[in-house]
Amino acid sequence: MPAADPAGRALLSVGRVGRAHGLDGSFHLTQPRTRLLEGRTTLLLHGEDVAIVRRAGTDARPIFRLAGVDTREAVDALRGTDLWVRRADAPPLEEDEWYAEDLVGCHVVDGDRDVGVVAQLLAYPSCELLEVSRQADPSRPALLVPLISDAVRTVDLDARRIDVDLAFLGEAEG
């Protein structure tokens, strides 16, 4: 998910405005990041703090209404717009946890062997996957790397480098 700030690191997306729910300005939040939404009373919309007026639905399919968004037409105008929180307001991460925004763009290697660059983080039911684009050979399909210790040896955010085990992933040498 692209961040609105140039460094891509000061803001974290919590989801996107989806289709309207009713006539009062309520909407489904798509791609929700439940942990970032917990206890939140405001969200950033177009760089401005906006109060959450209503929160309903489930964690998987939340429904929100924001102050100043009072009609179905207002929701339709915002549909697809990212909602954000400031990274400084996000809950602290545990050891071996990262935000998707931090992993996207990291260089992926297997020891000294270049693998590619993280294009995005995909949420699957069993675990999250790194989608690694193979920049050296774009004709090859993206490599999907599960974020599990057997597949990922190390993540060094300062160096923007992720070391993976291609043998575990079934990738032949070459």
- Report the mean per-residue pLDDT for the chain: 89
- Portion of the chain with pLDDT greater than 90, in percent: 67
Angstrom distance (rounded) from CA 40 to CA 162: 32
Q: Answer whether CATH 1.10.10.10 is correct for domain 11-89.
A: no
Q: What is the domain partition of the chain in residue ranges?
A: 11-89, 100-164
Structure token pair of residue 27: 């909407």
Split at pLDDT 50, 70, 90, the class of 173 is: low
pTM of the model as a whole: 0.72
Contact predicate 91/101, CB 8 Å: no
**Closest among 54, 44, 47, 51 to 85, alpha carbons compared:** 44
DSSP, collapsed to helix, strand or coil, labels residue 76 as: helix
Q: Answer whether CATH 2.30.30.240 is correct for domain 100-164.
A: yes
Split at pLDDT 50, 70, 90, the class of 4 is: very low
Angstrom distance (rounded) from CA 19 to CA 97: 31
Contact predicate 29/63, CB 8 Å: yes
pLDDT tens readout for residues 116-170 = 999 998 878 788 899 999 988 888 899 999 999 999 999 998 899 999 999 999 9
